[in-house]
Structure 1
Amino acid sequence: MKRLFDIVISAVGLLCTSVVLLPAMFLIWRQDGFSPFYIAARTGKDDRPFRMVKLRSMIKNADKTGVDSTSAGDNRVTAVGRFVRKYKLDELTQLWNVLKGEMSLVGPRPNVKRETDLYTREEKKLLSVRPGITDFASIVFSDEGDILNGKADPDIAYNQLIRPGKSKLGLFYVANSSIRLDLQLIGLTAVASVSRASALRGVSDILTRMGAPTDLIDLARRDTPLVPAPPPGATGIVTTRDQVVS
């Protein structure tokens, strides 16, 4: 049922959003003459690699800098790219990956291999399902760029401030996924584009009704500052670099 749901919605979604995607593609190409697409290497279900399609929001070869995480003030983001990222247009092309069966509409966000290689045994469960365009964490951490803004190393900051909570929310989804929950999260993702506060309340309400741990419900409210925390099943942040976020 989930796969059928993904196929139907992604096909309809690509047709309906083409009126927005096509002009966006033209503007990206018009800006610097390069392809409007960014083909991102990601790790999918069962640790299999796949090529995720995004609208390019950064300068050509931005990924060659070796920095995976993007802050709000990242100077690699182009003028058109800021508009594309603000309205999440770069995510819409991932409907193609959903149609191909590499992704799902709802599921843990796909990550780069050098990050999934750092996953704890518990976090490896995130790779037991198809990665998704949206999930609990996509809404809760929709301000990821602002969280990482001003950090000396965005990748380290991501691992310490975002990854632990993102993984816990992803694992809760994996353990409790259903078509009904998918519909609710798709709806809240749409709400988040208009009112992030309302979307966060919606996520915390869903988690409460589903009997989620208190720390997840508190995290979903995002009314307290994020602090460095270990990922699920770990006694500390598993990273090749042990600097502290400043």
Structure 2
Amino acid sequence: MSKRFFDVLLAVLLSVFLVLPMLLIWILISVGMKMNGLFCQQRIGQYGNTFTIYKFRTILWDCQGPRVTRLGGYLRKYKIDEWPQLYNILNGTMSFVGPRPDLEGFYDSLEDEDRKVLLLRPGLTSRASLIYFDEEILLSKQQDPVVYNKNVVFPKKVAMNLDYYYDNSVFKDLVIIKETVFFFMKILIK
């Protein structure tokens, strides 16, 4: 079975089960924020090409600046805000497993061997995304989060994604998806 066939099959099956909850979440966000409940942003994808990633909107901009809404905090905690990326998987801009798509200035600036990460389709999950699940919290505790991300976190994520590049298969994807499911089950139990 090819990776793409597996991605499409799993995305279609999940979409059938999640379409109603996703519609309800979109309505709640849209009504609560008085704007479209979907957030769209340009990210770096396969071969360094940009694509539009879809998420549920979790941040409201008001006179005090950006703030995560109550519902948004819940959606972020359990990564439910990522569910609209099933559309990205269906349209071929993402896969279930692969490097998380980043903003310009990171993956697109890789050099030499590290650029092989760009040959992969970005993913909804990866070993790196599980290890750095609380990346925002980790960075917020650093004296200089930008420097720490550039010199510590990002290079480690690139190394893990290169490992995946050299050793990826549908079986490996199933293992990572299983690890992701168990990871979130532990969070839900807490």
TM-score (norm 2): 0.89
> What amino acid does structure 1 have at the position aligned with 2:27?
F
Report deviation, 1:60.
4.5
Confirm or deny that 1:172 pairs with 2:163: yes
Confirm or deny that 1:53 pairs with 2:89: no
Q: Which runs of 5+ in 1 are unaligned?
A: 66-74, 197-246
Q: Distance in 1 between matches of 2:8 and 2:96?
A: 9
Deviations 1:75-115 (A, max 9, x none): 63222110110111111111100100111111111111122
1:2 alignment partner in structure 2: 3
**Count, aligned residues:** 184
2:146 alignment partner in structure 1: 155
* RMSD, aligned α-carbons: 1.9
> What amino acid does structure 1 have at the position aligned with 2:149?
Y
1:32 alignment partner in structure 2: 33
Taking only the aligned residue pairs, the percentage that are identical comes to 32
Report deviation, 1:151.
3.8
Please give the residue correspondences for 1:92-107 in structure 2 after superposition, counting only pairs within 5 Å.
92-107=83-98
Question: Residues 27 and 133 of structure 1: is their aligned pair in 2 closer, same or farther, counting only changes over 3 Å?
Answer: same
Confirm or deny that 1:135 pairs with 2:126: yes
> What amino acid does structure 1 have at the position aligned with 2:123?
G
Q: Distance in 2 between matches of 1:30 and 1:51?
A: 23
Deviations 1:164-218 (A, max 9, x none): 111111010011001111001111111111226xxxxxxxxxxxxxxxxxxxxxx
1:181 alignment partner in structure 2: 172
Q: Choose between structure 1 and 2: higher helix proportion.
A: 2
Determine if contact 1:14/1:93 at 8 Å carries over to the other structure. no
1:121 alignment partner in structure 2: 112
Confirm or deny that 1:76 pairs with 2:77: no
Q: Which runs of 5+ in 2 are unaligned?
A: none
Q: What SS does the corresponding residue of 1:110 show, helix, strand or coil?
A: coil
Question: Residues 96 and 60 of structure 1: is their aligned pair in 2 closer, same or farther, counting only changes over 3 Å?
Answer: farther
Q: Distance in 1 between matches of 2:164 and 2:137?
A: 25
Deviations 1:39-83 (A, max 9, x none): 11011111111001111111259xxx9xxxxxxxxx632221101
Q: What SS does the corresponding residue of 1:50 show, helix, strand or coil?
A: strand
Question: Residues 152 and 181 of structure 1: is their aligned pair in 2 closer, same or farther, counting only changes over 3 Å?
Answer: same
Question: Residues 108 and 26 of structure 1: is their aligned pair in 2 closer, same or farther, counting only changes over 3 Å?
Answer: same
Determine if contact 1:59/1:77 at 8 Å carries over to the other structure. yes
Q: Distance in 1 between matches of 2:153 and 2:69?
A: 24
1:90 alignment partner in structure 2: 81
